[in-house]
Structure 1
């Protein structure tokens, strides 16, 4: 063993094995699964990652990676290898050796460690240098976690140290200044005068800086200041700091690079140079995001981007970094300190001004206690919605089954007696598909109607006795309803099951009240957003499980169980029952009461069981039109949503599993459009305009489904419907909040949601009646014409007035 010898490992993130979609998906799956990279609730994020990100994002990312693929490798991998080799060649001391490793590519840190263990004269010290100049939890801390994972289970452990940042090192700053000045001179020699230099850093969420104390923002400023003050070929007043690569809907560090470019070009600064000090090696974020996409953005406005590469493996940089590495390994502390620039106290005055403005979040962050309560309730709602929507793809088969095995049931006779009064329906037509649709519509209306009526009652009761006992009792009641469904060999038991679950399903008002309890006016939208995500996920996962579990027919596996009421749909019912039992135990053991005893009996719900109160005009211009437009839109949309599985079963002979695919397809498109287009572009396009675009998009979707006699035509129509609805719902919700004063947000949004609940009662029944009387195409033709009403209402909306205290 060589005493005093130090092994230095340069650690980079890595790249996919190739630009093939499967390799990009594997790369993103490992990268985005890191809790340091995406630091939201791990259970919620796993659902989002696997249901919405990994099915779609890899294909888009693969296209970008192909643009920087040289046929054999990616620049990050190639340049890192060359950089390590050059640094090794510049080392003077035999006591230092260097290697490179990647977190997500080969060689990995574990590979380098294995080589170290096999070395006959291994180094006694290990120094890890993550090749990210500025410290951030999502990069440096993530790398340290990876190192800890490698160490776990190892017997031979050397003395280990980590260089957590080198953003003020003279090697990095001086070479970056030389790189920038050299390229500015080259641009000038070509006749291009640079109007402004953007020093653009990889962005992170403000929350990480404000709540977690991440030093990244400070390190970015220190890098920016040291570079700007030393540049010679541009006026310092023309150097700006920006942040790129934001992801998700959270607030990130600003100013955003793309927005800044658009603004500067519009103001007449056409030639912009960009350099990213967040990276020392060019990669997708620099070569493509800055060199291609940002350039395209500038070109659209009549400007241009002049890209300055990273330091990569330039000789001077490699030579200086080799000296830096040796000093950090074997020099005394005074020499090591001299490798870094030091900022004076006065140098931070600008940063203090910047951070005071920048880190003032637009909304108050949720407290840890609030997050915990919202997570518990959110998971509860997700599981509830899975249990509720699990029946969706089963409706056609369910209706046929009971008409075949229990046609003389008194409740069936009562329902078909009602049907007979609607038109010339006769007893002999009980097997007709249109009759089955109308029967299914009435069955669905029982659940939705009872849920709508029960919601304000559960909410009012929770105001009096507390949230937790109401949630526990309602969820236990749902378990009873699902248990009855398991053994519902007769239609009577199915009706009883749906009645119980419909009443108990009204606990959503209590769950919403929990969010109101633990949030403030400033951050309530964040809590409601989490609840909204849980709703969306539940509506996607539920039908999928319904379709899958319908393949398991317990009556065929255990024929004797039929005597106990077991039926072909008992397996989905059993799954829903187990979910509700888990839910009941979960909320009873994990949830902390959110309504203090001193407040019970003093909080009053805004919602009423009197539906006519919903139509009482509110004294705010625009709100009433939005509410009525939403009701009209959702009535048409929910009618389509309900009759869709019947149409697919009748025309295309779709099974329950194939019907489940329909809901999964719609859910994925909605998630993709809302997460990509709506989130990024709604404010620019305007919520009113985007909602109108969405409503117009529904019309061709409905017409295509009306004439669909093939899966291709059906899915083409579903595409328009999913895209349109994904634009409408968030935009109309946002418009309600825009038109309403902050003090009345709860009441206004509550009425808005109640209108939606009522629409989900009216829409399916109306569509079922139309389907029964006029055939499968009629609901879609009439629905497309009916959409002209909400389109007219939204078009007449007034200009948004932002209230002063909003």
Structure 2
């Protein structure tokens, strides 16, 4: 693997790790800072998560458009340096307002995933875009697995240790990028920075001019909301349905993340070669219908552990959709497209936890008419069915051929 590609994948992995790395220590850290109880810490934790996602939504297109104008290299390197400094600030923060500021900056710098994806698009032949986006997804999956594991281990050394580790990883990767990352934005594809296209609504309007893109964005959004059922309610679902403790929840999520990395890093190439990008999206959506149905009704913890990694076999939808849209927009707008997709994911990240946890609460409260912890998975199933119907609309065939 070429060093620049390795750098890009490490950057995405660090983005994913940076979120998961601090999850195990956040309750204790917030209680240390505020002096409150666990319930109070949970409320602040929700605020920090929401702020992080809102910043990603607002700044995804900004970062993407900046990379279209000034290049991928400076945007990535500056973001990594700022990310490292931000983790240092959070490591020494003694007030909630400083932690809040840190999460705001973290949400902005985490939007670099759009620039990393744009870099992969720059160096990929049209027929290779989807499978290379799969590598980006695989790196994210590995970060999703490694982050919480490292965070839990480092948390034994204190609530601040994971932040220092995250700062060191981001800083070391910035140094690596300085020496190995070349620039892919040439004068031939460079375009002026425009504020009207560097905000989420402007980016959606601009990209919506491409035939079928509005529906593809809707498919992407519906899938993201449905997929977020895992981080939103899996821990609560495992406890309510199977009596799992934190260790079993972590094991199951680790199995899912590993399989997701295998699928997006390797198996997707075989699926794309056989089905093409459009067929791959259809396969992924149909597979998820059955996966969510199985998880909604499973009653055995052992069977659930088997189903969890198998459910990741549908994790081909995002890179295939990215490949379809990336080929359609051309070389000059890769950053803008990936920034807009980052914003779509951020909106899903904001809405999905509220939606999924509310449904879970309605069907598991003491006076619920029907006790059904799997209800959120049926909601995800419904969203996937709608996404499949939208994608199969004949009007999408021109762009998704």
Task: Establish whether TM, by shorter chain, passes 0.5.
Answer: yes
Aligned to 1:497: 102
Aligned to 2:56: 451
CA deviation string 1:39-78 (max 9, x = no partner): xx3xxxxxxxxxxxxxxxxxxxxxxxxxxxxxxxxxxxxx
Deviation at 1:478, TM superposition (A): 0.8
Question: Which has the larger Rg?
Answer: 1
More strand by share: 1
**Match for 1:787 among 378, 381, 393?**
381
More helix by share: 2
**Match for 2:287 among 693, 713, 716?**
693
**Match for 2:8 among 344, 356, 377?**
377
Higher relative contact order (CA 8 A, sep 6+): 2
| Structure 1 contact 437–772 (Cα < 8 Å) conserved | no
User: How many equivalent pairs are there?
Assistant: 385
CA distance in 2 between partners of 1:779 and 1:438 (Å): 23
Aligned to 1:756: 345
Deviation at 1:479, TM superposition (A): 0.9
CA deviation string 1:263-319 (max 9, x = no partner): xxxxxxxxxxxxxxxxxxxxxxxxxxxxxxxxxxxxxxxxxxxxxxxxxxxxxxxxx
| Structure 1 contact 390–543 (Cα < 8 Å) conserved | yes
User: What are the residue-to-residue correspondences of 1:199-214 with 2, within 5 Å?
Assistant: none
Deviation at 1:576, TM superposition (A): 0.8
**Match for 1:553 among 157, 166, 176?**
157
**Match for 2:80 among 461, 466, 475?**
475
| Structure 2 contact 137–264 (Cα < 8 Å) conserved | no
Change (3 A) 1:628 1:790: farther
User: What are the residue-to-residue correspondences of 1:26-425 with 2, within 5 Å?
Assistant: 41=1, 371-392=2-23, 394=24, 398-399=26-27, 402-403=30-31, 406-407=34-35
CA distance in 1 between partners of 2:326 and 2:131 (Å): 18
Change (3 A) 1:478 1:646: farther
**Match for 2:89 among 467, 484, 491?**
484
Aligned to 2:368: none
Aligned to 1:765: 354
| Structure 1 contact 447–502 (Cα < 8 Å) conserved | yes
CA distance in 2 between partners of 1:774 and 1:403 (Å): 30
- Which segments of 5 or more consecutive residues in structure 1 lack a partner in the other structure? 1-40, 42-370, 409-429, 555-568
CA distance in 1 between partners of 2:188 and 2:263 (Å): 44
CA deviation string 1:633-668 (max 9, x = no partner): 32133143133345667995844x655433311123
Deviation at 1:475, TM superposition (A): 0.9
**Match for 1:744 among 324, 329, 332?**
329
Change (3 A) 1:603 1:527: farther
| Structure 2 contact 50–350 (Cα < 8 Å) conserved | yes
Deviation at 1:722, TM superposition (A): 4.2
Change (3 A) 1:495 1:649: farther
CA distance in 1 between partners of 2:400 and 2:387 (Å): 27
CA deviation string 1:431-465 (max 9, x = no partner): 55xx7655533322221221222222122233343
| Structure 2 contact 225–380 (Cα < 8 Å) conserved | no
2:183 counterpart SS class: coil
Aligned to 1:578: 168
Are 2:104 and 1:510 equivalent residues in the alignment?
Answer: no
**Match for 1:628 among 201, 214, 218?**
218
CA distance in 1 between partners of 2:201 and 2:151 (Å): 32
CA distance in 2 between partners of 1:450 and 1:638 (Å): 18
CA deviation string 1:538-588 (max 9, x = no partner): 2222222223323x233xxxxxxxxxxxxxx22222211110110121122
CA distance in 2 between partners of 1:470 and 1:640 (Å): 31
CA deviation string 1:244-268 (max 9, x = no partner): xxxxxxxxxxxxxxxxxxxxxxxxx
CA distance in 2 between partners of 1:771 and 1:404 (Å): 30
1:592 counterpart SS class: coil
| Structure 1 contact 472–588 (Cα < 8 Å) conserved | yes
For normalisation by structure 2, the TM-score amounts to 0.77
Aligned to 1:217: none
| Structure 1 contact 544–663 (Cα < 8 Å) conserved | no
Are 2:138 and 1:533 equivalent residues in the alignment?
Answer: yes
| Structure 2 contact 356–376 (Cα < 8 Å) conserved | no
2:182 counterpart SS class: coil
User: What are the residue-to-residue correspondences of 1:713-732 with 2, within 5 Å?
Assistant: 713=301, 716-717=303-304, 719-727=306-314, 729-731=315-317
Deviation at 1:398, TM superposition (A): 2.6
2:98 counterpart SS class: helix
